[in-house]
Structure 1
């Protein structure tokens, strides 16, 4: 194979992908059968099958039992705003904390329980592996549609036996990290966030209405008070339906 020349299955997948993108194969249209692909492109059954697998892995098509393979509907991605701005005196609940847009109204479900910090979580929180932390899992919805997942961890050396030990209960329940930490005399003055991408896990796909293996965006976010980590979280957003948009203050 000459340098730069693609394998046959990638060339076939590329042509079919272009037809999907330009609308020649619109959403809900049945993808050409394996036999039709073989005949149209003059390739083997193996090449035709591998080309279909590529499109499925990319989330462009989906198999329907006993019916065939169909082009998936892909809505225009909506923005999930991440911002360093905050309106003074405003209530900043978990949804606002995660999405960062004053105009967005959403709901969330949450479940908290204590656990021992894994080595990765311990490093992010600056505690020893095995230290007790409060883990809270969130599912955020906007207009009833699942938007994102978030799993947060707070060191119980900070919040244990205080009114803010449970993020969704007590006098400051549901008010967000900044307000809750202020309740125990800690001033959150810095937030660090790293964004990456990975395949969606099976349980995430169930919660977000996706397919295992599809790509999700993952933001690793940590709140600091005077250089001390007081909360860290993994925020998971379906990449095909949403984009992360950032607004940051200057100075």
Structure 2
């Protein structure tokens, strides 16, 4: 077995001390130099360990003050299920309503955008073929000419496609963990390189043709993703 990287070992040490209540919520951690000397590692190793725990919501960095034990955050449960996929509804909005919150979003749409290689492959297009691109920023607590414009705004993929004679039969999701980009971190209000779950979701017509694809980025420290699997009887 390969040896565990030093920063992961130090992260485990810090996590264990919090679990044993050596430090509790709101406590300021000793300086990096103190922790480094005690654990026999360099300060950069301690810094990487703390950044990892900050990205996971265990610690909180305060500019000019230090690093503190973070207040435990309640993670929002995001349920992915065919039972929740209603023709005219939004699974995200349903999840927020279940938590007593208002789920909403802002969007920016561009028409006639050349499809990048990855998107073109998912939609069965040639690279550079024109498509419509919409960027959504989801909020909690506060799609046929264009997905969020015109008479079919906000009615969901199934209804929008039905308006132009396309029957959507199913969607496929591919989740993958990774670190947030700088732009994603800024939009989501999380630390750069924090852990996120990237879901590639593609809708297909009853003819097997991909008609719409989406990239959904969910902060791991703020949301837990749960898949409900129907069982036939």
Deviations along 1:182-210, one digit per CA (max 9) or x if unpaired, are: 11111100110000111111111111111
Where structure 2 has 5 or more consecutive residues not aligned to the other structure, the ranges are none
Tell me by how many angstroms 1:107 deviates.
1.1
- State the match for 1:241 in structure 2: 222
Tell me by how many angstroms 1:140 deviates.
1.2
Alpha-carbon distance in 2 for matches of 1:34, 1:183 = 60
Alpha-carbon distance in 1 for matches of 2:21, 2:4 = 24
Structure 1 stretch displaced more, 24-33 or 199-208: 24-33
Tell me by how many angstroms 1:65 deviates.
3.2
- State the match for 1:187 in structure 2: 167
Where structure 1 has 5 or more consecutive residues not aligned to the other structure, the ranges are 145-162
Alpha-carbon distance in 2 for matches of 1:185, 1:57 = 48
Structure 1 stretch displaced more, 16-25 or 227-236: 16-25
Residue pair 1:223, 1:231 contacting (<8 A) in 2 also: yes
Tell me by how many angstroms 1:177 deviates.
0.3
- State the match for 1:206 in structure 2: 186
- State the match for 1:175 in structure 2: 155
Deviations along 1:98-157, one digit per CA (max 9) or x if unpaired, are: 46649444111111002100010000000110000100011111213xxxxxxxxxxxxx
Residue pair 2:185, 2:192 contacting (<8 A) in 1 also: yes
Pairwise mapping of residues 42-61 of structure 1 onto structure 2 (< 5 A)?
43=40, 46=42, 48-59=43-54, 60-61=58-59
Q: How many residues align?
A: 224
TM-score (norm 2): 0.84
Question: Measured at CA, do residues 18 and 128 of structure 1 come closer, stay the same or move farther in structure 2, by a change above 3 Å?
Answer: same
Tell me by how many angstroms 1:223 deviates.
0.3
Alpha-carbon distance in 1 for matches of 2:172, 2:47 = 40
Alpha-carbon distance in 2 for matches of 1:71, 1:51 = 15
Alpha-carbon distance in 1 for matches of 2:149, 2:7 = 55
Alpha-carbon distance in 2 for matches of 1:97, 1:234 = 15
- State the match for 2:125 in structure 1: 127
**1:111 equivalent in alignment to 2:92:** no
- State the match for 2:31 in structure 1: 33
Q: CA RMSD in A?
A: 2.6
Residue pair 1:201, 1:213 contacting (<8 A) in 2 also: yes
Residue pair 1:81, 1:100 contacting (<8 A) in 2 also: no
Question: Measured at CA, do residues 51 and 168 of structure 1 come closer, stay the same or move farther in structure 2, by a change above 3 Å?
Answer: same
